[in-house]
Amino acid sequence: MEFEFKGSRIVFKKELSSLDKLVIKFTKALAKLKVDYVIISGYIAILFGRSRNTEDVDLFIEEMPFEKFKAFWQELGKEGFECLNTSSIEEAYNDYLKENLAVRFAEKGMVQPNFELKFPKTDLNHYSIKNKMVVEINGEMLNTSRMELQIAFKLYLGSDKDIEDAIHLWEMFKGRLNLELFNGFVKRLKVEDKVKLLE
């Protein structure tokens, strides 16, 4: 897989999987309504060539007023998605997102794969959405978290799957990482002892 780096943008081509196509379809609904977002966690490793399955795609979306969320909900409905948590827009907004709980959307009639959306809560959550990378894949745009934070956070999560994701991304991007930034995240997340797993 050949990548071209243009500042904070990564450009590449690949044969799109059904999951890739679904993610592009979903994020286009976000982009249409100018909802700022960032993709985090396992799908990033899959996007960049790791061969494994996932049941969900995790995203932070900008904290927004109810009316904007309502428009987003309606746009997702037009695109064939529905909320798995509740059929009530008010409940999804007030009882889930505003309470720092995730809302999940999937194609109508499906449960997996689904999109798990949260408002950013911690400073690292806010960092990931403010300092996202743009990935241009076959001419389509996706926003992902920076690899320095993604790899460190995968080490922090620490399951076998997460460690393998971290190793895969490290191998793909180690020559392009800001190591000072990466080491700062490693220290912040207290995973210094796990960095050796990347070698």
Amino acid at 65: P
Q: Is there a domain that residue 105 lies in?
A: yes
Task: Respond yes or no on whether the N-terminal peptide bond of residue 113 is cis (omega within 30° of 0).
Answer: yes
Among the ranges given (5-14, 57-66, 184-193), the one the predictor scored with the smallest mean pLDDT:
5-14
* Residue 4: pLDDT band with limits 50, 70, 90: confident
123-130 and 147-157 helices cross at what angle (nearest 10)? 150
Q: Is there a domain that residue 63 lies in?
A: yes
Quick one: pLDDT at residue 164? Answer: 95
| Residue among 82, 78, 79, 98 at smallest CA distance from 90 | 98
* Residue 147: pLDDT band with limits 50, 70, 90: very high
Q: Is there a domain that residue 107 lies in?
A: yes
Q: What is the number of other CB atoms lying within 10 angstroms of the CB of residue 143?
A: 20
Looking at the predicted structure, is the pLDDT value of residue 100 above 80? yes
Q: Is there a domain that residue 196 lies in?
A: no
Residue 100's alpha-carbon distances to 15, 54, 196, in angstroms, are 36, 23, 33
Quick one: pLDDT at residue 8? Answer: 77
Q: Is there a domain that residue 123 lies in?
A: yes
18-32 and 66-78 helices cross at what angle (nearest 10)? 140
Query: What does the pLDDT average to over 144-172?
Result: 95
Q: Is there a domain that residue 192 lies in?
A: no
Whole-model pTM: value is 0.93
173 alpha carbon, distance to own chain's centre: 17
Query: What does the pLDDT average to over 156-167?
Result: 95
Q: Is there a domain that residue 197 lies in?
A: no
Three-state SS for 196? helix
* Residue 27: pLDDT band with limits 50, 70, 90: very high
| Number of domains composing the chain | 1
Query: CATH number of the domain that 140 lies in?
Result: 3.30.460.40
- At 172, give phi and psi (nearest 5°): -75, -35
Q: Domain range for residue 62?
A: 4-187
* Residue 29: pLDDT band with limits 50, 70, 90: very high
Looking at the predicted structure, is the pLDDT value of residue 94 above 90? yes
18: which 2 tokens? 């059904």
Residue 80's alpha-carbon distances to 13, 71, 83, 87, 182, in angstroms, are 26, 14, 11, 14, 39
Taking only the tens place, the pLDDT of each residue in 44-67 is 999 998 888 888 999 999 999 999
Question: Cα angle vertex 145, ends 163, 169, to 5°?
Answer: 35
Quick one: pLDDT at residue 195? Answer: 96
Q: Is there a domain that residue 131 lies in?
A: yes
Quick one: pLDDT at residue 53? Answer: 80
| Residue among 142, 76, 61 at smallest CA distance from 107 | 76
Tell me which DSSP letter residue 88 carries: -
Chain mean pLDDT for the chain: 94
Query: What does the pLDDT average to over 31-48?
Result: 94
Beta strands in the chain (DSSP E): 4-6, 9-12, 37-40, 56-61, 81-83, 103-107, 114-118, 133-137, 140-144
